[in-house]
Amino acid sequence: MAQDLPLVHASWKPILDPVRSTIDTILEKISDQEIAPPHDQIFAAFHMPFESVKVVIVGQDPYPTQGHAHGLAFSVPADVRPIPRSLKNIFTELQSDLRISAPDNGDLSRWSHQGVLLLNRVLTAQVGFSNSHVGYEWQVVTDHICCEIGKGKVVAILWGKSAAEVSSFFKSAIIGVHPSPLSAHRGFFGSQPFSAANRILENLGVEPVDWRL
């Protein structure tokens, strides 16, 4: 019997139903693992109504550090210190792009309330091990989600090679370098993804995102 998916808004049910068997298989496989994010937060990104999505930011996989991942790509709970370096680089680019001061914590929940879906390509990892669930078929699930989202007036911001794999599902995609400290200086800084996304939304007749946190 399919288990309930905590935090998922009812509007996502018809979107997720075609891949529920894959989801259930993955959840069974990781049921006895210590994972990031915790089991009850795996689907936190989908708490927003499906119809409200106007930007999707796609990352790679969750922060593997205990207590950092909480189901929103790149985001951490407000009490996490220090802020992960990838997220600090995102804040640096946000400030450069839109002159928005960096917040004092790494919780990106406000973006999701603005219609920004923060989606990792792989939704879980074993605590302490990056990319540990890459082979668990999460990509089948997130491919399907991106395909459905891409049918609407949506802008995709795709950071890194893994995220770029879903570019074909979107009519409007901003493909860029991952904000990781290992790659941010190779083209992430100065890419101005936030203002670019808002320009595309305005051209689509959609209200731009207020990126302030």
How does residue 4 score in pLDDT terms, banded at 50, 70 and 90? confident
Domain that holds residue 83: 10-203
pLDDT confidence band for 1 (50 / 70 / 90):
very low
- Let me know if residue 177 belongs to a domain: yes
Q: Is residue 126 part of a domain?
A: yes
Read off the pLDDT of residues 175-211 as tens digits, 9 standing for 90 and up.
999 999 999 999 999 999 999 999 999 999 999 999 9
**pLDDT beyond 60 at 2:** no
The candidate with the shortest Cα–Cα distance to 76, out of 108, 49, 50, is 108
In contact, 133 and 39? CB cutoff 8 Å: no
> Within a domain: residue 143?
yes
Rg from Cα positions in the chain: 16
Identify whether 134 is part of a domain.
yes
CATH of the domain at 22: 3.40.470.10
- In the prediction, which pLDDT does 88 show? 98
Q: Please answer whether residues 81 and 88 qualify as being in contact, where contact means their C-beta atoms are separated by less than 8 angstroms.
A: no
Compute the mean pLDDT over every residue in the chain, rounded to the nearest whole number. Answer: 96
Return the sign of the alpha-carbon dihedral for residues 151, 157, 158, 164. positive
Q: Say if residue 92 is exposed, middle or buried (CB neighbours under 10 Å; 0-12, 13-18, 19+).
A: middle
Strands 35-36 and 125-126 turn out to be: antiparallel
The verdict on residue 14 lying in a domain is: yes
- The rounded distance, in Å, linking the Cα atoms of 213 and 211 is 6
Residues 94-120 pLDDT 10s: 999 999 999 999 999 999 999 999 999
Domain membership of residue 209 (yes or no) is no
Domain count across the chain? 1
The answer to the question of residue 174 being in a domain is: yes
Active site residues: 61
> Do 123 and 42 contact (CB within 8 A), yes or no?
yes
Residue 137: inside a domain, yes or no?
Answer: yes
